[in-house]
């Protein structure tokens, strides 16, 4: 679909610019390596280009009035990649925070980090905490960065926390419910994603927001992340606007 057609699809589906918008969009930014390989470039160039795309999409999501944007930036499994690639990615993170944090703050964007922090190096942990502290009072788009994140690890930590509370007598087993579990997750206080996008055409969650994705809509564009642009984001919003969300109910009926 051409950029003009994408824009028209978005405008037709959302003529007032906000109708049927997802409140929370989550993105698995996949395909940096493929993008580089298709151009006979090193994988690091794909990651570098991917950061450029990240900047554009964050700005555009804020412009479109999206309330929450969650980006799967680095999974707990990514540590198994070659040491040189991991080192490069950590350097990209450092440069992104140093270069973009002030801009995010000026644009009233609030950063929140989810993922396991135990065991992170002090310099990385400091970067993550700085991003949250500097933007903590902002009231615009909430940019949720999943770093060293794995949904099974998140669920394990939540269940362990509840088990410890039960063993101390603070919680009775019969009091454990979905609300309690959700309150112990890294995403506590955040709405569940309405729309999850995974670029590069792969159609799986890869241990991303397994609990929170229960009623999300999914979209799997074929473009690799470095090629995913503002028009592609608008097309995703238009597709979302055309879907009927039933939450387990019947068509045309509010589900529950």
Return the active site residues: 30, 78
Q: Looking at the chain, how many residues does it have?
A: 256
Residue 169 marked ligand-binding: no
CA dihedral sign of residues 172, 176, 181, 182: negative
8 located within any domain: no
pLDDT of residue 7: 45
User: What is the reported pLDDT for 17?
Assistant: 44
User: Does 79 show up as a binding residue in the annotation?
Assistant: yes
User: What is the reported pLDDT for 115?
Assistant: 94
Domain that holds residue 188: 20-241
| C-alpha to C-alpha distance for 235 and 237, rounded to whole angstroms | 5
Instruction: For residue 222, say whether it is annotated as part of any ligand binding site.
Output: no
- Does the pLDDT value for residue 212 go beyond 80? yes
Over residues 138-177, the pLDDT tens digits come to 999 999 999 999 999 999 999 999 999 999 999 999 999 9
Between residues 236 and 8, the one the model is more confident about = 236
Look at residue 15 and give its three-state secondary structure: coil
Dist CA 109 CA 92 (whole Å):
20
What average pLDDT is seen over the chain? 89
Within-domain flag for 256 = no
On whether 245 is known to bind a ligand per the annotation, the reply is: no
Query: pTM of whole model > 0.85?
Result: yes
pLDDT of residue 249: 63
User: Is 97 contained in some domain?
Assistant: yes
CATH number of the domain residue 209 falls in: 3.40.1180.10
For residue 23, say whether it is annotated as part of any ligand binding site.
no
Reported confidence tier of residue 1, pLDDT bands at 50, 70, 90: very low
| 10 inside domain | no
Decide if 7 is inside a domain. no
Coil, strand or helix at 235: helix
> How many domains does the structure of the chain reveal?
1
Residue 78 in tokens: 């990514």
pLDDT digits (tens, 9 = 90+) for 40-89: 999 999 999 999 999 999 999 999 999 999 999 988 888 888 888 888 88
**In the structure, what pLDDT confidence band is assigned to residue 18 with cuts at 50, 70 and 90?**
very low
Helix (H) or strand (E) holding 146: strand 142-149
């Amino acid at each position: 679909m051409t950029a003009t057609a994408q824009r028209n699809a978005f405008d037709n589906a959302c003529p007032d610019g906000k109708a049927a918008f997802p409140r929370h969009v989550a993105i698995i930014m996949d395909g940096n390596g493929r993008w580089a390989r298709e151009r006979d470039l090193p994988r690091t160039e794909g990651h570098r280009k991917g950061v450029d795309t990240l900047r554009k999409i964050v700005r555009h999501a804020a412009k479109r009035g999206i309330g929450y944007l969650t980006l799967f930036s680095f999974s707990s499994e990514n540590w198994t990649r070659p040491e040189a690639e991991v080192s490069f990615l950590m350097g990209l993170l450092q440069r992104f925070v140093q270069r973009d944090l002030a801009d995010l703050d000026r644009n009233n964007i609030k950063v929140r980090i989810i993922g396991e922090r135990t065991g992170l190096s002090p310099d990385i942990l400091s970067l993550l905490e700085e991003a949250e502290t500097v933007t903590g009072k902002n009231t615009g788009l909430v940019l949720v960065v999943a770093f060293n994140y794995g949904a099974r690890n998140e669920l394990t930590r939540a269940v362990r926390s509840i088990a410890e509370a039960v063993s101390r007598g603070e919680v009775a087993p019969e009091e454990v419910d979905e609300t309690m579990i959700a309150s112990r997750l890294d995403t506590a206080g955040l709405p569940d994603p309405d729309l999850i996008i995974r670029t590069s055409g792969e159609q799986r969650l890869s241990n991303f927001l397994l609990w929170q994705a229960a009623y999300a809509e999914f979209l799997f564009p074929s473009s690799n992340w470095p090629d995913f642009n503002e028009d592609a984001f608008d097309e995703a919003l238009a597709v979302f606007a055309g879907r009927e969300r039933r939450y387990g109910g019947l068509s045309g009926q509010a589900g529950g």
